[in-house]
Amino acid sequence: MFVCASTDSFPHLPREEIFPQLVDLEFTAVELPIHETGRGLVKPSAVLENVEVAGNACRETSRLTVSALSIDQTEGESADADLAAADKYYERFAACCKLAKSLKVVPLVVPAAELGTPFNAEIERLRELVRIASFESCLVALRTEIGCMTEDPATATVLCDNVKGLGLALDPSHYVTGPWQGRDIAKVMPYVYHVRLRDSTKTEFNVRVGQGEIDYGKLLSQLSHEGYDRALTIHMPPIDGQDHRAELRKLRLLLESLL
């Protein structure tokens, strides 16, 4: 395992300033967002237009290693999209898989369907994503997230059991703060392909490092037991009134001390 950071930890900075900041904080790896809306490094639609140009943009990381791509198309995530939209959705995802292969990236972090989505429709979507990713030797990691089908650890594991090759992008904060707080998450550990971290309490999703309830030592022990050897990604936006750089450095040093 190794410690990494997400560019989403710096929502207040211009994109060109983020990578030097991470280097200055002594990070060596980064998770990149490929999002259709918001602050993605490039958009999935732009990747589909020209994978090579998108690849060049993703390599401008101040020599930070790219550990994972977070792919969020926003539109088309719904299982009830019309056929033409669904086809375009999968075409863009296939292009992102080619991009990942060119960057030598394996984990692709994708959103889970929102609560209320028909289970079979989500299974069909995930099976197709896994099938497409397999052509480029990539792994699909489904985000564990409040408000989505993965907010319940039991449902998250059922999804993985029904889609061969599917894994999870584990964010334990969603199980500490969310409606299923207090549930044992040991059952999700065998499915983990990627990890995102910050500190959280039952009532606050993002708190200062050390003031929350995330047991990093136990978490790393559980991951190690399952043979997890990928990134521990710090995915922590600023907290009002706190030194954000100090918090990022503190969590990096804490995680490195536990490895």
CA atoms within 13 A on the CB side of 73: 27
* Angle at alpha carbon of residue 195, lines to 39 and 160, rounded to 5°: 105
Q: Of 247, 228, 227, 229, nearest to 237 (Cα)?
A: 247
CA atoms within 13 A on the CB side of 138: 32
End-to-end CA distance of the chain: 7
CATH number assigned to the domain comprising residue 37: 3.20.20.150
Over the chain (259 residues), what is each successive 10-residue block's mean pLDDT?
95 89 96 88 93 94 95 64 79 96 96 94 96 97 96 96 98 94 90 97 94 95 96 95 95 96
What residues make up the domain containing 232?
Answer: 2-258
Confidence (pTM): 0.93
How many whole angstroms separate alpha carbon 72 and alpha carbon 93?
A: 9
Question: How many domains is the chain partitioned into structurally?
Answer: 1
How many whole angstroms separate alpha carbon 177 and alpha carbon 172?
A: 9
